[in-house]
Chain A
Amino acid sequence: MARIGVFVCHCGENISATVECDKVAQAAAGFPGVVHSIDYKYMCSDPGQNMIREAIREKNLTGVVVASCSPRMHEPTFRQACSEAGLNPFLCEMANLREHCSWVHEKGEATTKKAIDLVRMMVEKVKRNQPLYPIRVPVTKTALVVGGGIAGIQAALDIANGGNKVIMVEREPSIGGHMSQLSETFPTLDCSQCILTPRMVEVAQHPNITLYTYAELIGLDGFIGNFKAKIRKKAKSVDEKICTGCALCTTKCPQKKIPSEFNEGLGKRTAIYVPFPQAVPNKPVIDKDHCTYYKTGKCKICEKVCPAQAIRFDQPDEIVEVAVGAVVIATGFTIHQTGFFPEYGYGRYPDVLTGLQFERLASASGPTLGEIRRPSDGKIPETIVFISCAGSRDPAKGIEYCSKICCMYIAKHAMLYQHKVHHGKSYVFYMDIRAGGKMYEEFVRRAITEDQVNYVRGRVSKIYERDGKLIVKGVDTLMGAEAVEIEADMVVLATAGIANPGAEELAQTLHVSYDGHHFFSEAHPKLRPVETNTAGIFLAGACQALKDIPESVAQASGAAGKVNILFSKSELTREPLIAVVNRSAPPEYSTCVGCFLCQPACPYQAIEKEEIKDRSGKVIKTVARVNPGLCQGCGTCVAFCRSKSIDIQGYTHEQVLAEVMAVLEND
């Protein structure tokens, strides 16, 4: 028989001011199964907790109801107290008399009566509670970092330096990401590559990091601590072990007109190529789509010139499966190309550039070796216009959000231009200047005051070409919406940052949620910004939302910290409030009939098929099984299961039905 203890808390006067706590305790004493019922000023205090512990020991309580504040506040406190007295912590429930009763109702009979009802409800629930034990799952102390940009690099290094193994997967032939393309960085104007390259090398050389470049994640199964990742290593057609990285092949390749991705199409590369001189690993790959041999079956010049004989045309793609305990997604972002903008010429004008293209022009390693020259004719632009919010904050274009980094990089671009073309004139069309960040506002001010960049508040409605000039038509809203027309030599659009193509597919592979713009969703916008809703999968950098380098690095370190915390123990314990499919003796084995309609209802792919076999190994029945590592305890499957074969611990059918019955009971 149940022996329930009820402990009614006054919470100072927080509860007792409107609820007559002594009456509640008295009423509870009369509930069937209640053998102990008291009220006290502060149940959460040491003496209060002692009362609970003593009562458990002295009266052999089989369940405890603490009628006090919200369980979201003190449930761990009281469960701990019960546990210390030898009662399974899950045999303790709380009735929320403070947030849901005393604070929201006036003093009176009805309020006390409601408090009694709430206590009755929890007494009936706790009678049906079962002792539960935390779920333990082993942890594979290897992290998978998807993406080798600055966020991925930072996360990998932090995890690796924490003493854990890392497997990094990068889609491109080299790590480095967008940061490697940048000329200088705001607000310090230090050289991007100078600060990034050492980190890239560190990744390559770190004993704890395994790097897979030119590789993609194609599958992820399992659950926190125990994932199995499937990675496709695309054939590089070069034996990396033998290749010395001399790059002779790249100079001899007859295909020389391929637009360079690294240079945003402003430069060319060969079919066998190293994306940029500081690439890590610094070994070439053959781009099969452009290679003459792969296209025509003839050429093989690279093979002939390779002194190390490292070319392998017949190299296949390789699928590797790795066991990992956590995943950091750091797949970054991309930007809209100029072709997205009809009003700015649909990308027809070669001198209308994106911000990233301008970065390449301004970069010493870029196609112009750092000189700002027009792609069309190589001339140095005398007048340059920067347009912010190209696509961003424009619901008509489907992008409501601010791309966040543009205001700062436009200021940087304008400054770089002014530093390189002293006599040039630069204009910035902007909606607002968003320069929140350490030294950011000062940086923009510097552009305006020291470098004489002309900031025009207004939108550009149209760009068209006239006599080799780009005519930029806009308005200056600070001058009374006066029409402005500028004859520019070059226009740079701060095009909207968007999710990478394939982000949606990746999210589905990883079973993480994503927003309407295909950025990955964090578990909580404020309090869990680096976690996803799938335990063990974390976010770093711009794949979650646009962010600049320091923010990406900070989030990456945050994610790495989370991973290292996860890896700090060899076993993981989780609250056992998870769904369970019933099992019974033969011949039934389970009331589950294996329709598996619960599978699509589960947001976590936690429902597996289990074959029940006889001694000879013959399958008798296939039933559902909830993987305790994956289940997060939402209970959607429970409400959906027709035969009620799934139940959820902590919110069982018996418990919730008893609660409903009890709360509506007439006195």
Chain B
Amino acid sequence: MENKIFEPKIVAFVCNWCTYAGADLTGTSRIKYAPNVKIVRFPCTGRIDFMLLLKAFGEGADGIIVSGCHPNDCHYTSGNFHARRRWISFRSLLDFLGIDTGRITFSWVSAAEGAKWAALVNDTVSRIKELGPYTDYEKVARYYEEEVNHE
């Protein structure tokens, strides 16, 4: 197990109209990227609950990508603006708590930016690989393991 190369688990929260479509374009353009990232689709970045980021870390995610439409391009006019405020405050709170915000990539990827999506994923994967597994948060989530491991 120890000899295995660290393959980070990364979950991406993306909006349906821009980044999800952008990732579709990456596919249709056959641009390759690392398979570590798995996409969860949302109607809009405005829908992404901050609790989901914590849940992802708790379930063992080593990194998170949050991505949606560029400012002014939101399918719903302003969902991404609301999301941006939410991330500005949430990110600062996490940082204050000692939760590694360097493991969260926030980005705007439009439906036309298939190449940007691939680059974003690859950058995130290599950055997380350098950081190593994120265990701080997962450990408190799996607090019981210490007690039950001996079984």
Contacts and interface: CB of A to CB of B under 8 A. Distances in A.
Interface of A: 70-73, 96, 98-101, 103-106, 110-111, 113-114, 117-118, 121, 513, 515, 533, 577, 601, 603-604, 632-636, 638-640, 648, 650-651, 653, 656-657, 659-661, 663-666
A99 B23 contact: yes
A72 B27 contact: no
A664 B44 contact: no
A648 B27 contact: no
A639 B17 CA distance: 18
Contacts of A98: 27
B38 A634 contact: no
A111 B83 CA distance: 31
B55 interface: yes
Nearest to B34: A105
A666 B62 CA distance: 13
A100 B39 contact: yes
A19 B46 CA distance: 33
B75 interface: yes
Contacts of A118: 38
Contacts of B59: 660-661, 664-665
B82 A636 contact: yes
A345 to B, nearest CB: 37
Contacts of B83: 636, 639
Contacts of B52: 656-657, 660
A627 to B, nearest CB: 15
B31 A104 contact: yes
Interface residues of B, number: 46
Contacts of B35: 101, 104-105, 110-111, 113-114
B26 A104 contact: yes
A635 B83 CA distance: 11
Given A105-B32, A639-B86, A651-B42, A661 B77 contact: no
A632 B31 contact: no
B77 A648 contact: no
A603 B77 CA distance: 7
A635 B43 CA distance: 7
Nearest to B60: A664
A635 B47 contact: yes
A432 B60 CA distance: 58
Interface string B52-67: 1001100111000000
Given A103-B30, A513-B77, A633 B21 contact: no
A651 B47 contact: yes
B40 A100 contact: no
Given A72-B20, A100-B24, A639 B47 contact: yes
- 8 closest A-B pairs (Cβ-Cβ)? A635-B47, A99-B27, A636-B46, A634-B76, A103-B27, A664-B59, A634-B44, A99-B24
A640 B75 CA distance: 18
A121 B38 contact: yes
Contacts of B55: 657, 660-661
A73 B24 CA distance: 10
B42 A635 contact: yes
A635 B11 contact: no
Contact of B40 (A603, A639, A659): A659
Interface string B79-95: 10011001000000000
B105 interface: no
Contacts of A640: 82
Contacts of A663: 11, 38, 40
A604 B75 CA distance: 12
A638 B52 CA distance: 13
A28 to B, nearest CB: 16
Contacts of B118: 104
Which of B24, B35, B56 neighbours the largest number of chain A CB atoms within 10 Å of its CB? B35
Given A110-B35, A603-B76, A639-B86, A660 B56 contact: yes
Nearest to A532: B77
B75 A639 contact: no
Contacts of B38: 114, 117-118, 121, 663
19 contacts: A72-B16, A72-B21, A96-B24, A99-B26, A103-B27, A104-B118, A110-B35, A513-B77, A634-B79, A635-B46, A636-B46, A638-B49, A639-B86, A651-B42, A660-B56, A661-B55, A663-B38, A664-B60, A666-B60
B128 interface: no
Contacts of A121: 38, 40
Given A72-B20, A639-B48, 12 more contacts: A96-B39, A121-B40, A603-B79, A632-B76, A634-B79, A636-B79, A659-B40, A660-B40, A660-B52, A661-B59, A663-B11, A664-B11
Contacts of B46: 601, 634-636, 639
Which of A72, A104, A533, A651 neighbours the largest number of chain B CB atoms within 10 Å of its CB? A104
Contacts of A636: 44, 46-47, 76, 78-79, 82-83
B149 interface: no
Contacts of B82: 601, 636, 640
Contact of B33 (A104, A603, A635): A104
A521 B9 CA distance: 39
Nearest to B16: A72
A632 B77 CA distance: 11
B94 to A, nearest CB: 16
B146 to A, nearest CB: 18
B3 interface: no
Contacts of B41: 71
A635 B23 CA distance: 21
B109 to A, nearest CB: 13
A100 B47 contact: no
A72 to B, nearest CB: 6
A208 to B, nearest CB: 33
A633 B32 contact: no
B64 to A, nearest CB: 10
A640 B40 CA distance: 19
Nearest to A98: B27
B13 to A, nearest CB: 8
Contacts of A634: 43-44, 46-47, 75-76, 79
Nearest to A666: B60
A515 B50 CA distance: 29
B49 A70 contact: no
A99 B56 contact: no
Contacts of B26: 99, 103-104
B23 A100 contact: yes
